[in-house]
Chain A
Amino acid sequence: KNQVEQSPQSLIILEGKNCTLQCNYTVSPFSNLRWYKQDTGRGPVSLTIMTFSENTKSNGRYTATLDADTKQSSLHITASQLSDSASYICVVTVYNNNDMRFGAGTRLTVKP
């Protein structure tokens, strides 16, 4: 079983709507959790990073939250745009050895 599980696997929403993507992890202890956005045909790009002591981080319309007690993170997208269509990948860095554990990603499609 993967140490980082993302849900849903895929999601379709209408332009202008909000959505929330989930990331559950078992990595412990960890040093940070990142969300990456991967457009079709491109490499992933870092959106947010949170250390174990942070519980929220925003980047424009993207807001990531972290609950280290329940080992859950979410990525909330507000007022979605067509350009938000992409895969969103959750990555957890293992404390002290810098190994990164990747989720399989959530494929988001925003329709007009």
Chain B
Amino acid sequence: ETGVTQTPRHLVMGMTNKKSLKCEQHLGHNAMYWYKQSAKKPLELMFVYSLEERVENNSVPSRFSPECPNSSHLFLHLHTLQPEDSALYLCASSQDSGGNNSPLHFGNGTRLTVT
């Protein structure tokens, strides 16, 4: 069973709604990530946190807002999304963000549909 837990598994929201995705890791890792996975496309890195500090933001629209209150929890706050934001959102953790040989441990994702 994965050491990274994401909730909810599925989410349907209207474009005017506000919702949050939650991720929790039980592996004692120092780095956490949000990825977007769209059909037939490579994973897109959205945010990276290392020791609760954001270290990377790949020009993600401001309608996505991350929050990392501690090294075990990561949130993605969503507001006024667009239909093209519909995708699988994957959370991952790793021992640290600078470890070349440290694998990513993924959660099972939240399947988001924006109507």
Partners in one complex: yes
CB distance from B68 to the nearest CB of A (A): 18
User: Which of A46, A98, A101, A102: most chain B CB closer than 10 A?
Assistant: A98
The binding surface of chain A is classed by DSSP as strand
Complex interface: chain B residues within 8 A of A78 (CB): none
Q: Which residues of A contact B (CB under 8 A)?
A: 2, 4, 9, 31-32, 34, 41-46, 49, 51, 89, 93, 98, 100-105
Q: How many Cβ-Cβ contacts under 8 Å join chain A to chain B? A: 46
Interface of B is mostly: loop
On whether A43 and B90 interact (CB within 8 A), knowing A100-B45, A103-B42, the answer reads yes
Chain B nearest Cβ from A26, distance in angstroms: 13
Question: Do B42 and A42 touch across chains, with their CB atoms under 8 A apart?
Answer: no
CB contacts (< 8 Å) of A101 on chain B: these are 42
Interface size grouping (class) on chain B: 20 to 34
Can you spell out 25 A-B residue pairs with CB atoms less than 8 angstroms apart? A2-B42, A4-B42, A9-B40, A31-B100, A32-B101, A34-B103, A41-B108, A42-B108, A42-B109, A43-B2, A43-B90, A44-B104, A46-B103, A51-B101, A93-B100, A98-B98, A98-B99, A98-B100, A100-B45, A100-B104, A102-B43, A104-B40, A104-B41, A105-B40, A105-B42
